[in-house]
């Protein structure tokens, strides 16, 4: 059975998560008044796509910084540092869909995009295409509708993402950043985020000086290596909570000092308390 829950005690009237064990490849969130939802720069392991349904907000994704309004679709590749926040305390609303990367990469493979095992990044970071916008809104409505059968939800998800992948361009391989040392550090941090990693270890992996690594890493990923480590731990804790782990256990497993530390950073980055996110299971 799927569950709709408030995102936090402060914002329980304006935000909710949706998840369903029968459809483990997708998660959704709805925010009806974004003035109460503020994000620090963060990433997702999943592919994320959202539709602004009312008002306007700021949007930051890599080098892109702009204002967006109702009718806009935003797209975040896995690992892309991004944030959307209120604009001058104006109300705004949106639906977000978070999609499992292996599931979506397999769908790409069936369409002849990539080999079906590795995600091929999409080039657009936002779109004003009305069909794409309507597709996000319709899929969200079906997902949260208890009367909609699981088979119909999955059918609509496959149909929407198939159409999306056929329509949107992918990043040209020749244009991709080939900075192998920085990629090596990013992968190293993700793989060992639960450990007490040091800047010296990261510098050794990259074969770069600590000061240069910090500057270059932030320019490439939008975060310092330390912020990337914290973000990776948050993603680890999020997986634990999604599987029903106790908050204290999720904090310990992810490498945080204690539950309060996780609570503070989780809310700052993901604009939801761990407890309310966990209840969406």
3 state SS of 61: strand
Q: What is the CATH number of the domain that holds 235?
A: 1.10.10.60
Residue 133 sits in the same domain as residue 161: yes
Residue 42 sits in the same domain as residue 148: yes
State which of 124, 156, 173 marks the end of a domain: 173
Residue 15 sits in the same domain as residue 120: yes
Residue 123 sits in the same domain as residue 9: yes
| pLDDT, mean of each 10-residue run, the chain (281 residues) | 49 79 95 82 94 95 94 96 88 95 97 95 96 98 96 98 97 69 93 95 95 93 93 93 92 93 90 81 43
Q: What is the CATH number of the domain that holds 43?
A: 2.60.120.10
Residue 165 sits in the same domain as residue 192: no
Number of domains in the chain: 2
Residue 65 sits in the same domain as residue 193: no
State which of 126, 146, 173 marks the end of a domain: 173
State which of 139, 173, 207 marks the end of a domain: 173
Residue 281: its pLDDT value, please?
43
User: What pLDDT, in 10s, does the model give residues 243-264?
Assistant: 889 999 999 999 998 999 999 9
Residue 139 sits in the same domain as residue 197: no
Domain containing 100 equals 3-173
Distance from C-alpha of 34 to C-alpha of 51, rounded to nearest angstrom: 13
Residue 162 sits in the same domain as residue 203: no
Residue 57: its pLDDT value, please?
94
Residue 119 sits in the same domain as residue 9: yes
User: What pLDDT, in 10s, does the model give residues 108-151?
Assistant: 999 999 999 999 999 999 999 999 999 999 999 999 999 999 99
Residue 36 sits in the same domain as residue 78: yes
Residue 123 sits in the same domain as residue 221: no
Residue 279: its pLDDT value, please?
77
Residue given tokens 């936002």 in the structure block: 126
Residue 94 sits in the same domain as residue 203: no
Residue 9: its pLDDT value, please?
39
Residue 97: its pLDDT value, please?
98
């Amino acid at each position: 059975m799927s569950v709709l829950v408030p995102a936090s005690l402060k914002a329980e009237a304006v935000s909710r998560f949706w998840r369903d064990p029968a459809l483990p490849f997708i998660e959704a969130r709805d925010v009806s008044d974004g003035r109460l939802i503020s994000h620090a720069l963060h990433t997702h392991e999943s592919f994320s796509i959202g539709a602004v349904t009312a008002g306007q907000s700021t949007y930051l994704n890599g080098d892109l910084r702009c204002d967006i309004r109702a009718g806009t679709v935003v797209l975040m590749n896995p690992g892309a540092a991004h944030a959307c926040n209120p604009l001058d305390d104006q109300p705004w609303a949106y639906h977000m869909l978070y999609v499992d990367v292996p599931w979506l990469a397999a769908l790409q493979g069936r369409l002849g995009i990539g080999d079906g095992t590795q995600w091929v990044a999409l080039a657009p970071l936002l779109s004003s295409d009305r069909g794409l916008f309507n597709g996000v809104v319709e899929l969200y409505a079906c997902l949260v509708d208890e009367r909609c059968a699981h088979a119909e939800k999955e059918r609509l998800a496959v149909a929407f993402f198939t159409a999306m992948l056929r329509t949107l361009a992918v990043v040209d391989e020749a244009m991709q950043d080939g900075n192998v040392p920085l990629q090596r550090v990013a992968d190293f941090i993700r793989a060992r985020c639960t450990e007490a990693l040091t800047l010296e270890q990261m510098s050794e992996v990259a074969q770069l000086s600590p000061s240069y690594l910090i500057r270059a890493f932030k320019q490439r990923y939008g975060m310092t290596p330390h912020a990337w480590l914290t973000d990776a731990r948050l993603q680890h804790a999020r997986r634990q909570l999604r599987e029903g782990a106790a908050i204290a256990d999720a904090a310990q497993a992810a490498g945080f000092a204690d539950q309060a530390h996780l609570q503070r950073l989780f809310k700052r980055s993901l604009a939801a308390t761990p407890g309310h996110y966990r209840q969406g299971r």
